[in-house]
Amino acid sequence: MEYRITTPLTKEALAPLRAGDTVLLSGIVYTARDAAHKRMTEQLDRGEELPFPIQGAAVYYVGPTPERPGCCIGAAGPTTAGRMDSYTPRLLDLGLAAMIGKGARSQAVKDSVVKNGAVYLGALGGAGALMAASVEELEIIAWPDLGCEAVRKLLVKDMPLTVLLDPAGGDLYQSGPAAYLESLEKK
């Protein structure tokens, strides 16, 4: 199935999504990688607010390259999501609704996705130009000293993504290979 969803995201909007579905995401998406997640956790530990509203938010694990002339962003391919796994359950408990990246996630993240009615969406690795094409605006909103890992606020339109983890516990990294093997057996 293909779905169009817009941030801020609600549990009701995410509930029908299943691993393997295609999503075209529009609205505000925040970027954050390892260093930004570490700083966000430090802020939370000090009782401070995060640099963006977390409720219903989507976070893209990306460190974009410098923008090209006439563009607001350079290549914007996903980074490996597992590097954020130690931070993720806490952010999901605070209202984070979607994460965008590549690669499998830990069992703790999978459990937290289900518990919080969230999703993990896959961006096509190696296709940074394709992902960047859906970015209409960009603003650095926190920690410019982190360079490409600074937190950015992106306005995206129809960002093409695939549901990797769904609110019902589906995991494309498990069901995808199984479906492929099953299709081979039928031949």
State both tokens at 127: 């296709």
Confidence of residue 91 (pLDDT cuts 50, 70, 90): very high
CA contacts within 13 A on the Cβ side of 94: 15
Summarize pLDDT for 5-57 with one digit per residue, the tens: 999 999 999 999 999 999 999 999 999 999 999 999 999 999 999 999 999 99
Q: What is the structure's pLDDT at 97?
A: 98
Q: How far is CA 59 from the centre of its chain?
A: 5
Provide the total of helices (H) and of strands (E) in the chain, helices listed first: 6, 7
Confidence of residue 65 (pLDDT cuts 50, 70, 90): confident
CA contacts within 13 A on the Cβ side of 37: 23
- Asked if 77 and 131 count as a contact pair (C-beta separation under 8 A), the reply is yes
* Domain architecture of the chain: domains with CATH: 2-185 (3.20.130.10)
What pTM, to 2 d.p., does this model score?
0.94
